[in-house]
Each structure stands twice: as C-alpha cells, then as structure tokens.
C-alpha cells in the first residue's frame, strides 16, 4: 500500500484523539440545537479499500428491513463524502424538534426534507468538530437523498449508482449518533478522499510536533 495514504500508529492515535475531542464539541453543539441528550460514539476509524467498504455498508444495513440513506459532500482543504444510514425514523418526533409543522401530512418529500435537515446538522457538527481540531478548513455542499424507505439490498448500486469508483483507498470514520429521547439512531460514515489523506497526515504531524 502507498505509504502516503497509510497512517502510522502514532498518527492513528493522534487522529483518534482529535476525533474524540471533535465529537465532544459536536455533541455539545448538537444537544443545544436539538434540545435533548445526544450520544456520539466512534467505534471505527480505518483505512479501507473498495471491497471492504461495500462490506462495511452491508453490515451497517443488515439489521433493517427498510432503510433511509442520505449523503453530503465536503470540500476545501480536505474533501470527501458523508453517508448517513438511518434506522426507521419517528418522523413526527424528529420533525417537532426541527421546528416542522403539519406533520400529519407526511409525504415522501416531507420525509426527505426532514432527513436532509438532520443530516446537514449532523455533518456540520461532526465535520467542523474535526476540521477545527486539525486546523483545516472545510465547506459543506448541499445534502442529497440516496434512498427513502427502501429494502436494504443492492447497497452498492444504491451508493455508487452502477458506476465504478475511481479510487483505491478511503479513510473511514464511523460515528454512531443517537437521541434516546425520541429513539432516533443513525450511522454517520465520514469518508475522507484518497487525495486528502496526505493533507490530513500533515495536519496531524503538525499537531504532534506542537
């Protein structure tokens, strides 16, 4: 494997430390805007190849009979994409927290709107938590739906739309988010693009030197 995309043990430890601090800040901000107790856990940080990624996705959706997924890109000094996988959602309760009205009339569009709204808040919190710690600037693009209430099969086709990805490696930060008050759970998969791993390593080494 190309050494430029590899994180050595020291770098990986520093990265996990950065993530933990970042998630602490993200959690505090999210519980302020969502007005409730939130939990953010980071069970996995790892460098992945495409096949492993598909495996990670399949594992993430395996327990559900129906899934919702959205995605959001980030750009600037580090770039990549965030994939959200939602367990079945109590839309009324989530909608109330987000200030939505007329929740009895839940069309597919309204459900998507809610999912994209919470996706955006989650990616804002998690990403800026990270980028601030690393001293790297990042900007978010608008979120998009991947699928709404679909069977959890053909996950590769859903995510890649039948196209063959043009990269070999990606750095995955897997975040588990939950709000127990409204039984809301989601998995946030942050994928750092291959060409952003080196800038990330450099930022980590700057931190390590200080």
Nearer to other proteins, 113 or 176 (CB): 113
- In the complex with other proteins, which residue's Cβ is closer, 87 or 116? 116
Q: Tokens 């989650």 sit at which residue?
A: 122
Give the interface with other proteins as residue ranges (CB under 8 A): 29-30, 32-33, 98-101, 109-110, 112-113, 116-117, 120-121, 124-125, 128, 139-140, 142-143
Q: Could you tell me the smallest distance in angstroms from the CB atom of residue 166 to other proteins?
A: 26
Q: Which is nearer to other proteins, 42 or 116 (CB)?
A: 116
Nearer Cβ to other proteins (57/125):
125
Smallest gap from residue 150 Cβ to other proteins (A): 17
Strands, DSSP E only, in 14-163? 39-49, 67-76, 80-86, 138-140, 144-150
Q: At its nearest, how many Å lie between other proteins and the CB of residue 36?
A: 14
Contact present, 71 and 186 (Cβ < 8 Å): no
The pair of structure tokens assigned to 173 is: 């930060």
Distance CA 45, CA 56 (A): 12
Q: Contact at 8 Å (CB) between 171 and 48?
A: yes
The per-type count for the chain, helices as H runs and strands as E runs, is: 6, 7
Name the residue nearer to other proteins (CB basis): 12 or 148: 148
Q: Please report, in angstroms and rounded to a whole number, the separation of the first and last CA atoms in the chain.
A: 29
Q: How far is the CB of 112 from other proteins (least distance, A)?
A: 5
Closest contact distance (angstroms) between CB of 160 and other proteins is: 21
CB of 21 to other proteins, least distance (A): 16
CA distance 171 to 49: 9
Report the residue number, 79 or 110, with the smaller CB distance to other proteins.
110
CB 18 within 8 A of CB 192: no
């Amino acid at each position: 494997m190309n050494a430029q995309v590899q994180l050595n043990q020291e770098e990986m430890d520093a990265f996990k430390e950065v993530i933990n601090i970042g998630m602490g800040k993200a959690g505090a901000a999210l519980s302020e805007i969502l007005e409730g107790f939130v939990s953010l856990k980071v069970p996995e940080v790892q460098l992945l190849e495409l096949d492993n990624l598909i495996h990670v996705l399949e594992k993430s959706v395996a327990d559900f009979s129906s899934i919702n997924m959205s995605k959001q890109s980030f750009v600037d000094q580090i770039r990549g994409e965030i994939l959200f996988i939602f367990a079945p959602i109590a839309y009324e309760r989530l909608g109330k927290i987000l200030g939505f009205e007329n929740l009895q009339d839940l069309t597919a569009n309204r459900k998507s709107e809610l999912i994209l709204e919470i996706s955006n808040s989650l990616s804002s919190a998690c990403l800026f938590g990270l980028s601030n710690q690393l001293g790297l600037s990042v900007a978010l693009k608008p979120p998009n739906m991947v699928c709404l209430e679909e069977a959890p099969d053909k996950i590769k086709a859903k995510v890649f739309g039948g196209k063959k990805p043009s990269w070999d490696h990606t750095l995955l930060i897997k975040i588990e988010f939950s709000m127990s008050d409204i039984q809301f759970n989601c998995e946030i998969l942050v994928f750092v693009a291959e060409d952003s791993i080196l800038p990330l390593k450099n930022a980590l080494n700057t931190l390590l030197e200080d």
